[in-house]
Amino acid sequence: MEQKEQWGSRSGFILAAVGSAIGLGNIWRYPYVVYENGGGAFLLPYLIALFTAAIPILLMEYAIGHKKRGSAPLSYKRLSDRFEWIGWWQVLVSFVIITYYMVIIGWAASYTYFSMGTQWGDDTQSFFLSQYLNVGEDFWSFGGIQWQILIPVILVWALVYWVLHRGVNRGIELASKILMPLLIVLLIIFTIRAITLPGAMDGLDVLFTPDFSKMLNTDVWFAAYGQVFFSLSLGAGIMITYSSYLKKKSDLANSGMIAGLANSGFEFLAAIAVFGALGFLAVQQNVAVTEVVSSGPMLAFVVFPNIINAFPSLNSLFGVLFFGTLVFAGFTSAVSLLEPGISAFKEKMNISRKAAVNWICGLGLLVSIAYTTRSGLSLLDIVDNFVNKFGILFSALVAMILIGWVGKQLNPLRDHINSVSDIQVGKWWIVMLKFISPLILSYILISGTISEIN
């Protein structure tokens, strides 16, 4: 058995945790979710979800991994033999996500290249759907491998594989240390450009003008919880795995606060950049901002190329900047989405890290080919929606119930956090995890399921 791997420093862990959190969810997902769910009014459900559920669960996952020092299944097993399955469920969730997540990074990598000379032309929608994705007429029209998508996807897989092969310290930590600062600089440059464009303020108005009527809609709450959990990489075994690599004496509460706030700050900035750019496009096309936003997930690949086309100068450069930001943000998250599977397999099968990396990446690459077919986009939409609601939210709810009610382990976990942290976690943490969050989440999941069925 190899020795347990470790982060080189606490800042390395924080950067890796932030690198996992900041991903496609912050740039590709957050702006359209905010837009679809009431603009400024989304902020309140979002903040409630962040403080009553996401940050407490983040700390719980840190505490489990750090105290039990294993992969998600092993850590849960060490809490109680009856809990191991939830760890495997989380491993499965992260694995399902990575298989389509890589494909979106592959698209972004292609678009970084297409940005040079704005190769998507004027009709960016038909470029994306017909020329690039070659979307089929029927849902089940897999239509063979689309090499123009598969090749960049394989390339991204190869790079992620290489980082994971190098290990926790020389791979994940090093990649996060290089990519995260770069990412922040790129986003800041892009945001400054976006909000100084003519019309940007109209876009921000749409972002910040709340539509309170939407707040009574459970779907908005569903979306807020879904977004915060996805964005902070919760319920997928990632934070348990990452914190199991921390040294014994490491401040957990402080790291959790930093990761939570950095992630939300980043996505807030990304939303400002995106909406500023949308306002600019609306002015160029002489329409209302609400009309330039196409259906959610296509924002990045249809609307953004349009925006880049309309830029007054340096179009290619800003295209490379935007899509490059997506690629870098997605990259460190992709690495983190694979680590739960790698560590779980390594421990369960008693194999080396490298062997586990080979298996998980090999299997992942094979599955992700399904999303590079002509049905890929529709498939991706369905799986993303499903795994987000019933994979992540469900797993977080079950974890809270198991730990809070079945195993009654919240108190010892809180003592654990407090024994290593400067900031002391109060009783509120237990109240949130035992009562408030499980109640809200159960309500959202049940009513969401009912509305999904109808």
In the complex, the residues that contact ligand PFF under the rule CB under 6 A are 20-21, 23-26, 97, 230-231, 233, 236, 238, 333, 337, 392
Identity of the residue, 331 or 345, whose beta carbon is nearer to ligand PFF in the bound complex: 331
258 burial level (CB within 10 Å; 0-12, 13-18, 19+)? middle
323 within 8 A of 299, measured Cβ to Cβ: no
What's the rounded Cα separation, in Å, for the pair 120 and 123? Answer: 7
Q: Smallest distance, Å, CB 24 to ligand PFF?
A: 4
Q: Smallest distance, Å, CB 28 to ligand PFF?
A: 8
Q: Smallest distance, Å, CB 266 to ligand PFF?
A: 10
Residue 210, SS3 per DSSP = strand
Identity of the residue, 357 or 392, whose beta carbon is nearer to ligand PFF in the bound complex: 392
Identity of the residue, 156 or 236, whose beta carbon is nearer to ligand PFF in the bound complex: 236
**Residue 326 half-sphere exposure toward CB, CA atoms < 13 A:** 30
Euclidean distance between the first and the last CA atom of the chain, given in angstroms as a whole number: 51
What's the rounded Cα separation, in Å, for the pair 255 and 166? Answer: 24
In this structure, what DSSP letter does residue 311 have? Answer: -
Placement of tokens 């992260």 in the chain: 94
Q: Smallest distance, Å, CB 230 to ligand PFF?
A: 4
376 within 8 A of 99, measured Cβ to Cβ: no
Q: Smallest distance, Å, CB 216 to ligand PFF?
A: 27
221 burial level (CB within 10 Å; 0-12, 13-18, 19+)? buried
Q: Smallest distance, Å, CB 248 to ligand PFF?
A: 26
Residue number of the CB atom closest to ligand PFF: 25
Identity of the residue, 190 or 229, whose beta carbon is nearer to ligand PFF in the bound complex: 229
Identity of the residue, 52 or 333, whose beta carbon is nearer to ligand PFF in the bound complex: 333
164 within 8 A of 346, measured Cβ to Cβ: no
309 within 8 A of 124, measured Cβ to Cβ: yes
Identity of the residue, 195 or 337, whose beta carbon is nearer to ligand PFF in the bound complex: 337
Identity of the residue, 24 or 399, whose beta carbon is nearer to ligand PFF in the bound complex: 24
Identity of the residue, 133 or 338, whose beta carbon is nearer to ligand PFF in the bound complex: 338
Tokens of 115: 């940005």
192: number of Cβ within 10 Å:
11
Q: Smallest distance, Å, CB 426 to ligand PFF?
A: 27
Nearest partner of 403 among 438, 428, 427, 439, judged by Cα: 438
Identity of the residue, 199 or 260, whose beta carbon is nearer to ligand PFF in the bound complex: 260
Q: Smallest distance, Å, CB 328 to ligand PFF?
A: 12
Cα–chain center distance at 452: 23
Cα–chain center distance at 2: 30
Residues 6 or more apart from 191 whose CB is under 8 A from it? 269, 270, 272, 273, 276
Identity of the residue, 264 or 375, whose beta carbon is nearer to ligand PFF in the bound complex: 264
